[in-house]
Structure 1
Amino acid sequence: MTYCEDDPKLFDRNLESTQEFLRTMAAFQAFYAPLHGYICVVLCVFGFSSNFIHVIVLTRQSMRGSAVNSIMTAVALCDMGTMASYLIYICHFVLKGKSATNCSNGLTYLSMSFLLFHMFLSITLHTTTLWLAVAMAFLRRMTLHTTVLHSQWQRSRLAKKISLVVFFTVMLFSLPTLLVHRIVEYEADVWRPKPSCVQFYEANYSETIFTMAIAPAAMQNGCMWFKANLWLTGTLFKVIPCVLLIVLISSLLLKLKNAEQKRRLLLLNGGVGNDTNKRITSDKTTVMLLAILGVFLITEFPQGILSILSAVYTNDVHNLIYFMLGDVLDLLSLMNSSVNFVLYCLMSSRYRHTFCKTVLPLAWFRCCRRRQTRPNVALFTNTDLPSRIQNVEVCLTPDGRRRSSPAFRTVREPLLSQVRLPLSARASRT
């Protein structure tokens, strides 16, 4: 299909290497296409369920005060909408359309109206999640940059306002997608029932088939408006947020490296305390956030490159690459929308505790809680107190204050409260 006249060519189809590349992609598409629908159904069901649980956990009182968690809640809500819409699309147009028992016309005007709405909704929601990832990285970078304990960058209210602004802004810029497409009647053919379904219809029964087409106004002047929409989608929706993610991820990694160097200096100098514990917790949050942002970048950046190529080489990219690799691109987007819950569970003990407390049955939660707390309880029992006291290095500072070595500072308070200093030490203090 020719979208734009006099469009530059991306591939020289006379070259043997190009023909081999196209044959390889066609073979891959023929192999993967029958599996795509079923894989996507599993991903959509898992992704919708996991994001629903994700929202429940992140909105608990112990979790919702964080700006990052508030944005992750908005991301999960957008992913739920994407999954629900794509599940309906894949069931109706892919699984039902190819089913041998299907006796209805799947290309009605109502079906095409849903397809147009699905296209607009999926672009809006998925782009919103990408820009929210950028906002999340920026808020984390500003939080690490400031020295105030409870800065404005950590406030949940600010994150909620940012989420709303991002959503409505993206929705506004997604409207041209609706304007450059329209639903038209497919005049080359009509729908007729299959031989196995003719008993349900009148003789010689047929229905009109509808399809999606580019609006004639968008195709004028060398596809100016159609290409403008492709440039908008490729740059503002993909490339720019991906570039910002690269910059912010690099900045967070540098900040993480500097924090690790400072911590090592503090350990060498014996200056370990509550501030260091806070830094460790902060660094764990940063590492988890980097993993989430990395998934966004890996899945979205290739699509951004293809979007730019489609704006320049519209005919070749749409007829060859998108036709053969479109299912893979959809799969990457669905995987991106499903992975946040898994990453949170793997990397955040606080999230796992809240998840067990909120979602799991009470008996399971108690069992899980006993397993988590038993080693800590055993650490401070009186039965092995003498053996643990021997491992604590107790000394005095020049002004007579008691000090313990950094390696055992975590057990200092519960142990030394039951230990009497030697008489010589007590005499020196008096």
Structure 2
Amino acid sequence: MMSVGDEDWLPHMEDLEAYISREELVSIFPNLTNEQANYILTVLSSIHNGTINPQASAEPVPPEHASCNVGFRDSYKEIHGYLAVVICVLGSITNVLNMIILTRREMINSTNTILTGLAVADFMLLVEYSSYAASYIRGQEDMFDSYYHSVFILFHAHFTQVTHTIAICLTITLAVWRYIAICKPHLNLFLCTLPRARMAVLVAYVISPILSVPNYLMYSIHQQYDKRRNESLYHVDFSERAKNGPLQTVHFWLYSVIIKILPCILLTILIMLIIRAMYIAKRRKENLIKMGTPSMEADRKLPRMEKLTEKTTKMLLTVLLLFLVTELPQGILSLLSGIFGHAFFVQCYHHWGEVMDLLALINGAVNFFLYYIMSHQFRLTFRYFLHPPPPLNLSPRIPGETVSTQL
């Protein structure tokens, strides 16, 4: 521990005296360590440049929020980048396969059109996040403080918000589609058509960037001059609009409640209604079997069609449940951050942020495996895509006949 009057402290004294006189420093901090002086200098410089709000920094942190920090993030963040890159690369490949298989002629229908739109959104999210995860792995302090890296971080925050909102809209659309098919079959033929499905996908891709406008205004790039390094440092922080206006409130209600919590509640209700309708249909089928067996040819085909519909519904329910499981924790943490303020965001949401990101990446990467395991038609189409059957010769040649070709 060293005194502020020692000769080794002269460079620090010159910097600190730009904010506080030497006499005040000596009286307040008679014994100041090198680390403490560096911290104080950084904070004072940030406050002077307007990059830190002293009132927000002085906000009391409730002790109960500290229980969120269990030391997990310190050990996990060392491997987060590597796990994210692996999942993003694998998920990008599987979503390309989803787009190829689901757009084959024999696979085109209204439900698969929505799943294709979901695969495109997941693909864009995974590709962009892979570059962020790569910078997370090989990032150095100089790169993190650069202007170009701040621009990339700002783009990353906005792009992931837009693509994630698209995925949420399409997942809710898929749940509504399946609810109509199972619970309101008389409306299915003219409501859940292929043109309507294409329009629903288009609306999701158009409206999501518009819903993300408050997120664009929430953050901006801030410049801070570091006298020790004699260079300007850049970082992403809340914009002046967010600090001095109602934008944070609007952002909280739109992002945490309308885009996060409300879809989870709606999805939960739709899943429960679909499961209930499937249970009722199963009981009705069992009662019909007890009453007698069908004799007509059309009636004999009916159980097979019902079985295919049931398998498809189970597969889609698995997709919806997986989305709900990965989305609900993030929605709850976002809601609590808005209720309890900055202290909860720093000590809880920020602590589990990488885990929430990893869950979202897994959700966007595993749909291909769900389709392959639970859909016979998807498996068959995928196998034909890998090993197409030889073309059939429907016009056999007459023996001795010659065939001419033109290039």
- The bucket for the TM-score relative to the shorter chain is 0.7 to 0.9
Does residue 118 in structure 1 map to residue 160 in structure 2?
no
Residues 215-258 of structure 1 deviation map (CA, whole Å, 9 limit, x = unaligned):
1122125xx31232122101121111111101110110011101
Write the letter of the residue equivalent to 1:242.
C
**Other-structure match for 2:40:** none
CA-based RMSD of the aligned residues comes to: 2.5
3-state SS in 2 of match to 1:62: helix
Displacement, 1:323? 2.5
> Sequence identity, in percent?
28
Letter in 2 for 1:249: I
> How far, CA to CA, are the matches of 2:287 and 2:72 in structure 1?
54
| 1:145 equivalenced with 2:183 (yes/no) | yes
Pairing 1:74–2:98 present:
no
Query: If the length of structure 1 is used for normalisation, what is the TM-score?
Result: 0.72
Measure, in 1, the Cα distance between the counterparts of 2:380 and 2:194.
21
Q: Which residue of 1 aligns with 2:106?
A: 62
Q: Secondary structure at the match of 2:105?
A: coil
Within 5 Å, give how 1:400-419 maps onto structure 2. Answer: none
Q: Does 1:230 align with 2:268?
A: no
Q: Within 5 Å, which residues of 2 pair with 1:13-412?
A: 13=63, 19=66, 21-24=67-70, 27-64=71-108, 66-92=109-135, 94-98=136-140, 105-148=143-186, 151-188=189-226, 207-220=231-244, 224-268=246-290, 269-271=292-294, 273-358=300-385, 360-362=386-388
Deviation at 1:53, TM superposition (A): 0.5
Where do 5+ consecutive residues of structure 2 fail to align?
Answer: 1-51, 391-407
- Compared with structure 1, are the counterparts of its residues 147 and 321 closer, same or farther at alpha carbon in structure 2 (3 Å cutoff)? closer
Deviation (angstroms), 1:7: 9.8
Aligned-pair distance for 1:164? 1.1
What is the Cα deviation at residue 149 of structure 1?
A: 9.6
8 Å contact from structure 1 (residues 4, 315) kept in 2: no
TM-superposition CA deviations, 1:168-218 (whole Å, max 9, x none)? 112101011111211111334776xxxxxxxxxxxxxx6532110111122
Distance in 2 between residues matched to 1:147 and 1:312, nearest whole Å:
42
Q: What is the distance in 1 between the residues matched to 2:310 and 2:179?
A: 12
Q: CA deviation at 1:4?
A: 6.8
- Taking the aligned partners of 1:4 and 1:275, their CA distance within structure 2 comes to 69
Would you say the 8 A contact 1:239–1:304 is kept in 2? yes
Separation of aligned partners in 2, 1:178 and 1:71: 27
Aligned residue pairs total 334
Equivalent in the alignment of 2:47: none
Using the TM superposition, name which of 241-250 and 268-277 deviates more. 268-277
- TM-score, structure 2 length as denominator? 0.76
| SS of residue matched to 2:120 | helix
Q: Look up the SS of the partner of 2:314 in the other structure.
A: helix
Letter in 2 for 1:132: L
Structure 2 CA distance for partners of 1:325 and 1:151, relative to 1, 3 Å: same
Cα deviation, residue 322, structure 1: 2.6
Q: Is the alpha carbon distance of 1:147 and 1:299 closer, same or farther for their aligned partners in structure 2, counting shifts above 3 Å? A: closer
Deviation (angstroms), 1:111: 2.0
Q: 2:84 corresponds to which letter in structure 1?
A: C
What amino acid is aligned across from residue 211 of structure 1 in structure 2?
A: H
Whether contact under 8 Å (2:68, 2:351) holds in the other structure is no
In the alignment, residue 170 of structure 1 is paired with which amino acid?
S
3-state SS in 2 of match to 1:235: helix
Structure 1 gaps of 5+ residues are 192-205, 367-430
